[in-house]
Amino acid sequence: MRIITGSRRGKKLKTLEGNAVRPTPDHIKESLFNILQFDIEGRTFLDLFAGSGQIGLEALSRGADHAVFVDSARASCAVVQDNIRTTDFAAQAKVVQADYASFLLRNTEVFDIAFLDPPYRTGTLEKALLAVAEHMRQGGVIICEHPTDEAIPDRAGAFVRVKDYRYGKILLTAYRHESLV
């Protein structure tokens, strides 16, 4: 696993071994950033269910101003910290070990971009999506990674589903503020 492009292009990243972690494949990561290409520069990025932190680190490499990485697993947060050190983004990154609900309950920060990739088929995605929408700027975008057979809502607060991007059995679903669609 590596940073695909930007200021840290080619930097190798660590990930946890085993079935508990499901890193986003490079071709889906590249597609994700093609969707976001004009939205990243100078923005604040939320990598919820961060795993290794590869998505938030890719955003920083491509010009995001700040990224917050949230994961409930201590081991995942340790890997994210290692990857932040490897990519030299410590000044622009914050790692929070917490489940998504606890984090969002006490969070006061507002985000421009949020990426949600929770464990599949647990019902977590819909709950997290609804909670994240309350912490987004009006011009922001929320992207959810999920299997094609996992239904998610057409609306999350003031954010509406604008497009699904299919990659085999995986969908990236984009939400934007209703005033922008």
User: For the domain that residue 110 is a member of, what is the CATH number?
Assistant: 3.40.50.150
Whether 15 maps to a domain, the answer reads no
- For residue range 31-88, list pLDDT tens digits in order: 999 999 888 999 999 999 999 999 999 999 999 999 999 999 999 999 999 999 999 9
Whether 3 maps to a domain, the answer reads no
Whether 167 maps to a domain, the answer reads yes
Whether 34 maps to a domain, the answer reads yes
pTM metric for this prediction: 0.95
Helix axes 54-61, 26-36, angle to 10 degrees: 50
Percent of the chain with pLDDT over 90: 84
Whether 103 maps to a domain, the answer reads yes
Whether 23 maps to a domain, the answer reads no
Structural domains counted in the chain: 1
Domain that holds residue 137: 28-180
Whether 4 maps to a domain, the answer reads no
